[in-house]
Amino acid sequence: MKQFISTEDVPGVPRLVDIALDYKKNPHKDKGLGENKTLGMIFLNPSLRTRLSTQVAARNLGMEVVVFNIDKEGWQLEMNDGVVMNGNTSEHVREAAAVMGQYFDIMAIRTFPGLKDKQEDYSEKYINQFIKYAGVPVVSLESATLHPLQSLTDVITIKERWTAPRKPKVVMTWAPHVKALPQAVPNSFAQWMNAWGEVDFTITHPEGYELDPKFSGSAKIEYNQEKALEGADFVYVKNWSSYQDYGKIINSDPAWMVTNERLKNTNDAKIMHCLPVRRNVVIADEVLDGPNSIVIPEAGNRVWAAQAVLSEILKNGK
């Protein structure tokens, strides 16, 4: 694996999941693999789980880790080519990425979308500029439109819980929120569910929240949440802003909040969320604190997802 931005970079999803689950059993078995290698973690935006779990994963592999909040500890980068840089940006990504590529063996980057310009966000300009100039393998810590470490984690979390001979019914449901959020997590979850293929996958949301078909792909779309959730084995809850009316909150119907009542016709479904979650807005306390929530072990699996990805790049990336 030479980079990790989307499913397209992954030779096989099931194999990567197996590698992650092996690390979960024996976190320090490859402590020599990253010896004398450095991971640079570059944040253009805040992070909790991704930041912390990836550090732990890299150290489990014996890598050095350097964390750099470039937005706070450095300065603003210019992402556009050909610009006369007489404004607020102090350094061009052409230099910043290339220089960091001189220091690090792998670069991991978090960069959120602006949610103003759909074309710019969906071209993944920011992370692609880093990839173009870094000269070393790049790992996404969430980019404008995808969050692959989260989605790999989600596959792992479903896989380790499902032993029945049939495919589990997985339903991703939109839920309300007070802010306009990126589509990165739902796009990515859909892309990975489709690439994995071992689930019966449905997406439910109010009309107007359709995701980019490039990512939703062959998923069933059902506008009636109650109907969608019938018989679900796993319910993946997430808010996102509109892709069509780009970056807008076009509906924030509180009836879409996930409650026990809403979940009563599922197949005793496990509840997943990438976190952070706004309690009693997106999901009710009773669900998060109930026996079916798996959001904490799901977050715990972030370590093994990151460790699988880093190990594959260390083995094959150069």
Distance CA 168, CA 3 (A): 30
Cα 172 from chain centroid? 14
If one asks whether residue 278 binds its own copies (CB under 8 A), the answer comes out as: yes
Q: Which of 12, 14, 15, 28 binds its own copies (CB under 8 A)?
A: 28
- The contact mask relative to its own copies for 286-305 (x = CB under 8 A, - = no) is --xx-----xxx-xx--x--
Does 75 belong to an annotated binding site? yes
182 is in an annotated binding site: no
Angle, alpha carbons 152-51-44 (nearest 5°): 105
Residue 153 vs 173, nearer CB to its own copies: 153
Q: Which parts of 168-197 interact with its own copies (CB under 8 A)?
A: 178
Residue pair 173/236 in contact by the 8 Å Cβ criterion: yes
Note whether 205 and 139 are within 8 A (CB): no
Nearest Cα to Cα of residue 201 among 189, 209, 211, 213: 189
The residue from 44, 49, 191, 272 that contacts its own copies (CB under 8 A) is 49
Number of residues that bind its own copies (CB under 8 A): 62
22: burial class by Cβ within 10 Å (0-12, 13-18, 19+)? middle
Q: Does position 161 bind its own copies by CB under 8 A?
A: no
From 212, 246, 275, 292, residue interacting with its own copies (rule: CB under 8 A): 275
The rounded distance, in Å, linking the Cα atoms of 257 and 273 is 13
**DSSP at 283:** B
Q: Which residues contact 173 (CB under 8 A, 6 or more apart)?
A: 203, 204, 205, 225, 228, 229, 235, 236, 237, 238, 256, 258
Q: What are phi and psi of 4, to 5 degrees?
A: -145, 90
Q: Is 115 annotated as a binding residue?
A: no
Q: CB 32 → its own copies: shortest distance, Å?
A: 13
| Residue 162 within binding range of its own copies, rule CB under 8 A | no
Considering only residues 74 to 93 of the shown chain, the ones binding its own copies according to CB under 8 A are 74-75, 78, 81-86, 90-92
Does 250 bind its own copies (CB under 8 A)? Our answer is no
Where on the phi/psi map is residue 98: left (φ > 0), alpha (ψ -120 to 50), or beta? alpha
- Residue 26 touching its own copies (CB under 8 A): no
From the CB of 236, what's the least distance to its own copies, in Å? 16
Which residue ranges make up the annotated binding site? 47-50, 75, 110, 142, 147-150, 177, 238, 274-275, 278, 302
Residues in touch with its own copies (CB under 8 A): 27-28, 36, 38, 40, 43, 46-49, 51-53, 55-56, 59-60, 64, 66, 68-70, 72-75, 78, 81-86, 90-92, 94-96, 98-100, 102-104, 178, 275-281, 285, 288-289, 295-297, 299-300, 303
